[in-house]
Structure 1
């Protein structure tokens, strides 16, 4: 019953099989191999246009390098105050932006509203003393498991255009959001004005494989050099590309995300049967954030369930966590089984039934 995250499980079988196949024989190094060429061409198909693709081993590297291409050292990148780029990457984006600054704005459910971003930008001083805003970064899905709809992305993009900014999407759980919305990758990105994407695959079945996908050509200039300086042009680059080839084959990537989302939906449905449990935010992708009695949280831990506590910073207006309650995060993955979910919910049912009888 490990719901700590979707990166605690290993790689999926098709990904490992593709990796093993690519491990045989000799191929050109540093991304000059045929597997990497095929994968980059596949990205063009997936996004329905020609894109520039730069492979990376980690999401932190992908985010930091993507933002470094959009924000000069004297610039400002706006994001949500709980976003991964500002909260969980040890300053890597600012390091690779060579001193540029991240500023986090509040927003319920870890989402930014276009009008709130516009108001903030228009309130900035216009003198040389103020770092000029150069990019907006949004997470899809967000750190609260919620999803930006295409019209919301388009509205944020319009704000960026009005202020001469690029729009970056941190897509660590890109595919979970994609299958939840039921749209195409193009409809969730460049057609709504996204300029550069950190395309996550590690959380959804890869061993360690991410990609920077560039829709705005000028942002691709120099990314090869930035990637090399960051140690992300790997000598045996075919082994990164091979993971993505196995990931994309037969729509495996989509099937993985659908399964993870379905397991999260089963968790949410089972929890919501109990009046003493409520969801902090809708379970829109593969994460569930229940507010539950603290005694239940303790009982679940005692039964062997693994999960994280969560911050109250982005709760809806008027929502509060009681002194006898806990807000936790449950994450389902491509490897989560229905039996794990049922086992978890059985503990919930049994514990709350015992408490009701006391």
Structure 2
């Protein structure tokens, strides 16, 4: 009953097999190997983007930070949600890699609205040399609050960015889960709605550690390779990054893993319904729910693992409602959900 994070699950056997297959003989370093060539073409095919520039990096923080640094000069600002991962959970890495470009928060919740984004962008770039210039918009899909932007919502935000002539970055750490939730293709959730650079996440969906950064206009990517090297994120034995991604892409494993994770979350939501207060629209693999303190104490004592998002277990009132985050990964079984269901309704 492990719902703490989809970062913590095991690696699928098909990905381990791909690593073993790559671990023979010698191969050119720094991305000049045949596996990287295969993965680059596979990602171009998957995204229906034959000219896209594709790069692999080992972490989501590197993917987001290096992509935004490529799009945002140090005298500009990136626009994002107040709960965006790049704002709350990356230790100022986007600011560091961009040479100090600031983040400007768009008022509202985890899903930005076109009106709020338009007003926020319009408010910047108006003070000449005294204020930040307008830079990229960063959208998180799935959001940090477990919600999914519809394709129409993504298109509306990208249209606002286009009004101001600024590019759009998609933080897709849970890209696959969102694709499955929307029943769409990667192309439909990226460049077809106006995204300029997308992160195709793998680590949260079962990989050991690799993310793909995809620039749909290769002209925007000219400095990414240099930034990746300067930022110490260019692997010498690059074939081992590529092997993971190759295993992930073959036979649409990426989609199968996300489908399973989303299905387990739907089962978990069914278990929580009627007992917990569901606080998001859990169409992907994450649900936020409020339960009494005494229920959390009982669940955790029985071995359920998840994170409280508000309050703590040690309060004096057993009936206080505490919000928790539950995240499902590909390895969870229906039996795990059934055990949790039995505990919850004991």
2:122 corresponding residue in structure 1 = 122
Match of 1:204 in 2: 205
Displacement of 1:102 in angstroms is 0.9
Distance 1:263 1:185 in 2: 22
Native 8 Å contact 2:84 2:144 kept in 1? yes
- 1:78-137 CA-partner distances (Å, limit 9, x unpaired): 1111110010010111000001001222333x1101111111222336122110121110
Note if 1:325 corresponds to 2:326.
no
3-state SS of paired residue (2:188): helix
Matches of 1:137 and 1:121, distance apart in 2: 12
Structure 1 residue 249: Cα displacement = 1.0
- In structure 1, what is the Cα distance between the partners aligned to 2:199 and 2:102? 19
Check 1:70–1:311 CA distance in 2 against 1; reply closer, same or farther (3 A cut). farther
What is residue 301 of structure 1 aligned with on the other side?
Answer: 300
Alpha-carbon distance change, 124 to 230 in structure 1, aligned in 2, over 3 angstroms: closer
In 2, Cα distance between the equivalents of 1:48 and 1:292? Answer: 44
Instruction: With the length of structure 1 as denominator, give the TM-score of the two structures.
Output: 0.92
Listed as ranges, the gaps of 5+ residues in structure 2 are 312-317
Q: Summarize the alignment of residues 264-275 of structure 1 with structure 2, pairs less than 5 Å apart.
A: 264-274=265-275
Tell me the alpha carbon deviations over residues 140-161 of structure 1, each in whole angstroms, 9 at most, x when there is no partner: 0000111111111111111111
Checking the alignment, whether the CA contact within 8 Å between 1:65 and 1:223 is kept in structure 2 is yes
| Structure 1: distance between partners of 2:199 and 2:98 | 16
Listed one character per residue, the Cα deviations across residues 244-300 of structure 1 (whole Å, up to 9, x for unaligned) are 1111111111000000000000000111033xx220011110001111112111111
**Structure 1 unaligned blocks of 5 or more:** 313-321, 351-358
SS of equivalent residue, structure 2 residue 204: helix
CA distance in 1, matches of 2:257, 2:344: 26
1:47-79 Cα shifts (integer Å, max 9, x gaps) = 112211010000000000000010000000011
Decide whether the 8 Å contact of 2:141 with 2:174 is kept in 1: yes
| 1:1-358 equivalences in 2 (<5 Å) | 1-50=1-50, 51-108=52-109, 110-124=110-124, 126-127=126-127, 128-274=129-275, 277-310=276-309, 324-350=320-346
Report how far residue 167 of structure 1 moved.
0.5
In the TM superposition, residue 218 of structure 1 has moved relative to its aligned partner by 2.4
TM-score between the two structures when normalised by the length of structure 2:
0.95
Displacement after TM superposition at 1:13 (Å)? 0.7
TM-aligned CA deviation for residue 10 of structure 1: 2.2
Q: In structure 2, how many angstroms separate the alpha carbons of the residues matched to 1:22 and 1:147?
A: 35
1:274-329 residue CA offsets vs partner (Å, 9 max, x unmatched): 3xx220011110001111112111111111111112259xxxxxxxxx97101000
CA contact (8 A) 1:55 1:232 kept: no
